[in-house]
Amino acid sequence: MFESLSDKLQAVFSRLRTKGKLTEEDVDLAMKEVRLALLEADVNFKVVKGFIAKLRERAVGSELLGSLTAVQQVVKIVNEELIAMLGGEGQTKITIASAPPTVIMLVGLQGSGKTTTIAKLAMHLRKQGQRPLLVAADTYRPAAVKQLMTLGKQIDVPVFSDEAAKPPQICEAAVKHARNTGLNAVLMDTAGRLHVDDGMMAELQEIQRRTNPIETLLVADAMTGQDAVRVAEEFNAKVKLTGLILTKMDGDARGGAALSMRAVTGVPIKFVGVGEKLDALEPFHPERMASRILGMGDMLSLIEKTQENYDQAQAQKLEKKLKAGQLDLEDFLEQMQQLKNMGPLSQVIEMIPGLNKLARSPEAAKALEGNQMKRVEAIVLSMTQQERRNPQTIGGSRKRRIARGSGTTPADVNQLLNQFFQMQKMMKAMASGKGPFGKGKMPKGLPPGIFG
């Protein structure tokens, strides 16, 4: 997700750091490179044009030029404008009706992942204390009703269906059923088409008229890029969307759709799908996404994932150590098995400041999954307890001993230690509050010390 854009933006900032004090020409050249990076990431041209205009106005129109902290200020401005483009500070949550049931209609083209996403959303709402009902209102796609029934059984959520009725009638009856049975959230899986057509929109408008949904969410495939933006515009014009859910974000290295859709439609992104599993749906936080794009990790999401997979005592211990920059290899060994339950390890590692490039390298892809992960575990297990707690004491002879004990090479041991020390350095910088924005100061969602 955003791999290409993230790498290119970090390369721009790296080149700027070699300049010392910046001139207006330096800023103009950097803006051209940022513009090209956004366009190559498949961000909408008009969105890019407005974004670059704002960046240049803020960069050149301030007292930034000639300052020794100019590069850090450029990064700060880019971060703030990315957040604004993505929807501003904070998550836009699902609206819950004051008088139940909360009626939510999911719309989108065929193949966008609506049916799977509605099951994921039901799981999310149940965690929030809601009692959801799934509605099989896609009577056109073969096996759509059966698919939703199967998903409902998997997550233990009831499914309402009536293949003899029309979709508007099914949805209206489902809302009445939920009201009569004490179910307080109705999620309607509507039919998709291969393209937007008048018949499809008329049916959706009729469902809205009969059920008065508080949320109309478009499920869009992020991998379709600018087509997803066009589809969002067309749906918004006809059925007035209240939010977006982007699926297959984990499969799109460019990410331009996410950056474009909010800016073009004015409709907030509420969730992103980051995998095929039914728990792979993440609430969308603009500031956290901007932080990931700029290679600064996403500590808040990491802590939240940790809390979901650990008991309270474990979560508090790990959170405290992460924030204080005191994570040692013994902690790493203890938590490794738990981390495997938090999803693909490459996604978890990307959330840690400074390690995003590591997580995306071909070598890391092998090291983080399968048998290669066992090698990392073997290296740590071959260390003494004292070495795991104080890895800085591991010299050449110890590395050779650890390598022999783990069936690896001293170079493998050295690589693991270097990566661990890099992470430790980032954590300590965060704990100290030292960074390019002054001691203890930083924009929200931007870990300090990353660019210091």
Q: Residue 97: inside a domain, yes or no?
A: no
Q: Are residues 124 and 273 in the same domain?
A: yes
pLDDT band of 332, cuts 50, 70, 90: confident
Same domain, 238 and 348: no
Q: Whose structure tokens read 């003494």? A: 384
pLDDT at 208: 97
| Mean pLDDT score, 32-40 | 91
Pair 155, 115 in one domain: yes
Average pLDDT over residues 326-355: 66
Query: Are residues 287 and 85 in contact, defined by beta-carbon separation less than 8 angstroms?
Result: no
Which residues are CB-contacts of 38 (< 8 A; sequence separation ≥ 6)? Answer: 5, 47, 48, 51, 52, 256, 259
Instruction: Report the pLDDT value the prediction gives residue 306, as an integer from 0 to 100.
Output: 56
Whether residue 443 lies inside any domain: the answer is no
Examine the domain organization and report whether 80 and 126 are in the same domain. Answer: no
Q: Is 374 left (phi over 0), alpha (psi -120 to 50) or beta?
A: alpha
Q: Are residues 182 and 168 located together in one domain of the fold?
A: yes
Question: Cα(55)–Cα(18) distance, rounded to whole angstroms?
Answer: 20
pLDDT band, residue 119 (cuts 50/70/90)? very high
pTM of the full structure: 0.69
The last residue of one of the domains, among 86, 119, 134, is 86
Domain boundary among 245, 266, 293: 293
Whether 110 and 240 share a structural domain: yes
Work out the average pLDDT over 346-357: 60
Same domain, 280 and 341: no
Please give the pLDDT value at position 184: 94
Same domain? For 112 and 79 the reply is no
Residues 70 and 215 in one domain: no
Looking at the domain assignment, is residue 180 inside a domain? yes
Question: Tell me, what DSSP letter sits at residue 251?
Answer: G
Q: What is the pLDDT of residue 436?
A: 39
Cβ-contact 276, 247 below 8 angstroms: no
More confident: 225 or 125: 125
Q: How confident is the model at residue 442 (pLDDT cuts 50, 70, 90)?
A: very low
d(CA 436, CA 18): 16
The CATH number of residue 12's host domain is 1.20.120.140
Per-residue confidence (pLDDT) for residue 22, from 0 to 100:
77
Q: Compute the residue count for the chain.
A: 452
Which residue's entry shows tokens 């929807």?
Answer: 87
Residue 160, both tokens:
């309402």
Sign of the dihedral defined by the CA atoms of residues 107, 109, 110, 111, in that order: negative
Number of domains forming the structure of the chain: 3
CATH number of the structural domain spanning residue 410? 1.10.260.30
Higher pLDDT among residues 296 and 293, named by residue:
293
Q: Which of 258, 293, 328 is the last residue of a domain?
A: 293
* Res. 325: pLDDT tops 90: no
**For the residues 388-402, what does the mean pLDDT come to?**
92
Token pair of 55 as six digits: 């960046």
Q: Is the pLDDT assigned to residue 447 strictly greater than 50?
A: no
- pLDDT band at residue 437 using 50, 70 and 90 as cut-offs: very low
Q: Please state, in angstroms and rounded to a whole number, the distance separating the CA atoms of residues 316 and 261.
A: 37
Q: What percent of the chain has pLDDT over 90?
A: 37
Looking at the domain assignment, is residue 379 inside a domain? Answer: yes
Evaluate whether residue 130 is within a structural domain. yes
Span 236-249, pLDDT tens digits = 999 999 999 998 87
pLDDT, mean of residues 337-365: 60
Is 447 contained in some domain?
no
Please indicate, yes or no, if residue 389 is contained in any of the structural domains: yes
Are 173 and 264 within one domain? yes
Which range in 24-38, 148-162, 328-342 is most confidently predicted, on average pLDDT?
A: 148-162
Say which range, 217-231, 292-306, 328-342, has the weakest mean pLDDT: 292-306
- Worst-scoring range by mean pLDDT, 1-5, 84-88, 245-249, 391-395? 1-5
Q: Return the structure tokens found at 63.
A: 């007292």
Find the range with the poorest average confidence among 35-39, 254-258, 283-287, 370-374: 370-374
Please measure the distance between the N-terminal and C-terminal CA atoms of the chain and give it in whole angstroms: 25
pLDDT above 70: percentage of residues in the chain? 76
Instruction: Give the pLDDT band (50/70/90) at residue 259.
Output: confident
- The Cα 215–Cα 103 span in angstroms is 7
**What is the CATH classification number for the domain harbouring 150?**
3.40.50.300
Extract the tokens encoding 332.
């790493």
Q: Which domain holds residue 247?
A: 102-293
Query: What are the residues whose beta carbons fall under 8 Å from the beta carbon of 16, sequence distance 6 or more?
Result: 22, 26, 30, 70, 71, 74
The yes-or-no verdict on residue 250 having pLDDT over 90 is: no
Mean per-residue pLDDT for 308-333?
70
Residue 174 lies in a domain: yes
Residues 228 and 244 in one domain: yes
One domain for residues 185 and 286 = yes
